């Protein structure tokens, strides 16, 4: 396995908490797991460190901790960039993108009341990833998905059940604004969505 694939696999595990925050990463064990020497693992870990997924503690790497201060910093950036990204997505959205957005809307509406947090978070990720992709701006897509994935880790650590009807209120408002090509409504809905997300995480911690 090459360093890029190792990086992608480890990032996925960190995002979905298969690798827990603040857990120590054993270089020898990782090399054995991926069937490679230590070098590709170190390259992958260095890239994970650059993107903020792991931190170096002496000679070891540790999965980045989850802190409210970190989320506040990410929220400040996201609150500036994402509402504009949603607007670009609205104007640039392909016919296929519009069909996918309607599909996501239907999926949310048909979620069972007993749906678990992980599936709610997966749906949230699917929704945002589509909007980011429909900006047709690769740099923006990369930055926003990285910030979103940090949010996902926080949502997945919440001990209480996420209330799905409350959680998806702004999602429907964003979809409605896109359907009506209402830029002001879309900007307001996107801003409110980010604020509510941060408020919920702050209250839970």
Per-residue pLDDT tens digits for 161-176: 888 999 999 999 999 9
The whole-number pLDDT of residue 205 equals 64
Topology given in CATH for the domain delimited by 3-63: Arc Repressor Mutant, subunit A (1.10.10)
The parts of the chain modelled with pLDDT lower than 50 are none
> Which ranges in 93-182 belong to alpha helices (H)?
95-109, 117-133, 138-157, 164-167, 169-179
For CATH 1.20.120.530, list the domain ranges present in the chain: 68-204
What pLDDT was estimated at residue 133? 98
Q: What's the helix, strand, coil split of the chain in %, to 5? A: 70, 5, 25
Q: Measured between alpha carbons, how far is 35 from 67 in angstroms, rounded to an integer?
A: 33
Q: What does the pLDDT read at residue 160?
A: 84
pLDDT for position 80: 96
pLDDT digit string, tens, across residues 15-45: 999 999 999 999 999 999 999 999 999 999 9
pLDDT of residue 9: 97
Start-end of CATH 1.10.10.10 domains in the chain: 3-63
Strand order in the sheet with 60-63: 24-25, 60-63, 54-57
The architecture of the domain spanning 68-204 is Up-down Bundle (1.20)
């Amino acid at each position: 396995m090459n360093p890029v694939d190792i990086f992608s696999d480890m990032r996925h595990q960190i995002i979905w908490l298969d690798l827990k925050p603040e857990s120590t990463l054993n270089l020898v064990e990782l090399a054995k797991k991926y069937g490679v020497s230590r070098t590709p693992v170190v390259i992958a870990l260095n890239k994970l460190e650059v993107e903020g997924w792991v931190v170096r503690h002496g000679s070891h790497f540790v999965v980045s901790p989850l802190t409210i201060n970190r989320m506040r910093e990410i929220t400040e950036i996201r609150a500036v960039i994402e509402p504009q990204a949603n607007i670009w997505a609205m104007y640039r959205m392909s016919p296929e993108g519009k069909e996918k957005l309607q599909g996501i809307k239907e999926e949310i509406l048909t979620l069972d009341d007993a749906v678990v947090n992980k599936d709610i978070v997966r749906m949230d990720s699917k929704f945002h990833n589509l909007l980011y992709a429909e900006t047709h701006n690769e740099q923006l897509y990369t930055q926003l998905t990285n910030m979103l994935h940090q949010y996902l880790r926080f949502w997945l650590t919440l001990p209480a059940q996420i209330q799905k009807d409350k959680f998806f209120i702004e999602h429907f408002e964003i979809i409605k604004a896109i359907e009506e090509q209402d830029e002001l409504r879309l900007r307001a809905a996107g801003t409110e969505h980010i604020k509510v997300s941060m408020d919920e995480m702050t209250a839970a911690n």
